[in-house]
Amino acid sequence: MAPLNPYTYIQCPCSDSASLGRPSDATSPTSADGDDEDNTFDPRAPRANFSLYPLEYLLYCEDCHQIRCPRCITEEIATYFCPSCLFEVPSSNLKSEGNRCTRSCFQCPICIGPLSVTSIETPPSDPTLLAPDHAATPHSTYSLICSYCNWSSTEIGIQFDKPNSIHAQLAKIRNGGASRLTAKERKERRKELSHRGGEAAVVAASEASGGQDMDLETQFANLKLFYNSQLADPNAEDNGLSSLGDLGFSSPSSLSRIMNLYTGGKLHDPRAKSKLGAMREAITAGEGLLEPNLDESSLISQLHQSDFLDTASSTQICSQPPNLGELHLHGAARFNSSLRPVPYLLRTKRSKRCPVCRHIISKPEAKVQTTRFRIRLVAGSYIPSISIRRLNLPGPNGPAAPAILGDLLEPLKPVHFLLTFKNPIFESLKVTLGAPAKTPGRFPSKVTVLCPQFDIDANTDVWDEALKDNDRESSNRSRRRAGTESQFQVEVGKIWERGRNWVSIVVEVVPASLKLEAGQDVLKEDEDVLEIPMFVRIEWEAENGGEDAASGPGRDKEQKEKRELAYWCVLGLGRIRQG
């Protein structure tokens, strides 16, 4: 069984506590409790898992004076940046260029390591010929090389002329080195043609080129153009079924005609076309029709010959961005040898807000390189942290055995745990604890918190404490002496030890026996973990905010306001020995 280190999880109040109080199975004895005013929090309920967080994950809203968890917080994106080049991308570029880095940052498609642009030295053409004095090649080519798995973009036949703006160069090259036209270039060509030869020339050109290279982008562009033309003017000459009176509802001309039928009379526009047009689908490649090539025998024979590890895995295929230079669907990469470099996905820096009062809880610096925060209100600086360790008290037969962390708990033998509460705020806290006498679940263990109410001193400076130390030394000594006497005796209602800003108390637990009766189900996963739900209520006096500063006379200088916060938390103590 995996050893268990003691942990503390805190429940965020955003979850519906009423539904968490009811235990899941009917055999547990807590169901007999019925509905208390505060339903005992059951950490074994299926929903409880989603509302429990360690203290480090929780944030705190100062206006609401309430804990906030990652589930209930509202996030806003502050900046987008590329994780590889740390270049900040303005959010306006996101819509036009997508959520990937458009500079030279790429991931190896095989091993997801970063690719670096390296120049490929062309070997000397003929060693017997005399090399010129300036032997540097004027035209050097570059390629992307992975420094971990030694993959190179030359394996898919791609080389570059310039070492920068690789993304743009890559968009123009297909696997194997053939070039393709990007969307911009296509538009420009279309414009040129329409200037020279008019509409017919454009159509003729698109028909001609449609047969050759119908890649994803071209097909989409052609189809979009065709549909737009259909929507605008469905009554073109080459319509088929229009005479049969098919109604094309989406065409604006037909819509206006139908509306005119209802409004009728003089409003009818005499110039409106009376003949109704029907929309049709694309017929030629120039309009965007891609004839399916269902003969995959060449692909199948290639699969027969190649190794399983030569085919691209599903993660590799999913991480490939859509390849605009290949056919839609038929051109998807199946083999490792046709995988293209993957541009890095952009990451975000997010600022977090309280969902209730919209107060900013966490705000990182806008600059990408700094990891600091402008505002950071974490729960760890407002609520006390609880650390747990096992306390071995000497039994009636000799000194205590040393505690091993993660040791299994013996069933039906009382164990003691030391809980240390550390106060992070600059005021003294009053803590009240409440734990059910029996833990919820199929195997209830008995729990006794020996000191359920205590005070913790404020988190003052270490220097203040040192200065006061001289005054308090005598009182400390007497306190410690008293402590050593009672060190081996656990007393109800007394704390174990106290420090500058912390207090430790003892919790006595009698773990349940995990013996299964006849007819009971087998032990479920983690059902042998001893977990105590505990209700923590903290009260402190805080200085009032600056709102009431200008109130009338008769007020004290510092108006202290009593504040309290209450939450459920779960202490995981250890695993109980089975059998």
Site for another protein, rule CB under 8 A: 110-111, 121, 123, 145, 148-152, 154-155, 309, 336
312 vs 576, which CB is nearer to another protein?
A: 312
Going from the C-alpha of 544 to that of each of 187, 461, 496, 511, the distances in angstroms are 65, 22, 33, 45
110 vs 289, which CB is nearer to another protein?
A: 110
Do the beta carbons of residue 578 and residue 530 sit within 8 Å? no
235 vs 311, which CB is nearer to another protein?
A: 311
336 vs 338, which CB is nearer to another protein?
A: 336
Do the beta carbons of residue 575 and residue 529 sit within 8 Å? yes
- The least CB distance from residue 159 to another protein, in Å, is 12
Q: Report residue 561 as tokens.
A: 């306001």
Q: Can you tell me whether residue 549 is helix, strand or coil? A: helix
Q: Can you tell me whether residue 221 is helix, strand or coil? A: helix
- The least CB distance from residue 160 to another protein, in Å, is 15
Do the beta carbons of residue 449 and residue 507 sit within 8 Å? yes
146 vs 383, which CB is nearer to another protein?
A: 146
- The least CB distance from residue 148 to another protein, in Å, is 6
260 vs 320, which CB is nearer to another protein?
A: 320
- The least CB distance from residue 106 to another protein, in Å, is 16
Do the beta carbons of residue 530 and residue 439 sit within 8 Å? yes
Q: 188-221 b/e with 16+ CB inside 10 Å = b?
A: eebeebeeeeeeeebbebbeebbeeebbbbbbeb
Helices (H) and strands (E) counted in the chain, each on its own, are 10, 22
Q: Can you tell me whether residue 349 is helix, strand or coil? A: strand
DSSP 556: -
- Smallest Cα–Cα separation from 533: which of 451, 454, 447? 447
Do the beta carbons of residue 113 and residue 147 sit within 8 Å? yes
177 vs 197, which CB is nearer to another protein?
A: 177
Q: List beta partners, residue 415.
A: 509
123 vs 292, which CB is nearer to another protein?
A: 123
- The least CB distance from residue 310 to another protein, in Å, is 9
145 vs 356, which CB is nearer to another protein?
A: 145
- Smallest Cα–Cα separation from 250: which of 275, 272, 279, 271? 279
- Smallest Cα–Cα separation from 170: which of 198, 196, 142, 189? 142
121 vs 485, which CB is nearer to another protein?
A: 121
- The least CB distance from residue 339 to another protein, in Å, is 12
DSSP of 22-67, one letter per residue? Answer: S-SSTTSGGGGG---SSPPP-TTSTTGGGTEE-GGG-EEETTTTEE
- The least CB distance from residue 156 to another protein, in Å, is 10
Neighbours of 104 (CB within 10 A): 24
Q: 402-432 b/e with 16+ CB inside 10 Å = b?
A: eeeeebbbebeeebbbbbbbbbbbebbbebe
- The least CB distance from residue 150 to another protein, in Å, is 5
123 vs 265, which CB is nearer to another protein?
A: 123
- The least CB distance from residue 142 to another protein, in Å, is 13
Q: Report residue 504 as tokens.
A: 């430790």
121 vs 558, which CB is nearer to another protein?
A: 121
41 vs 151, which CB is nearer to another protein?
A: 151
> Which stretches of 258-384 are assigned E, i.e. beta strand?
342-343, 347-353, 360-364, 373-376
Dihedral Cα 297, 299, 305, 306, nearest 10 deg: -160
CA-to-CA distance for 442 and 445, rounded, in angstroms? Answer: 10
Region of 90 (left: φ > 0; alpha: ψ -120 to 50; beta: rest) is beta
Q: Report residue 472 as tokens.
A: 């308090």
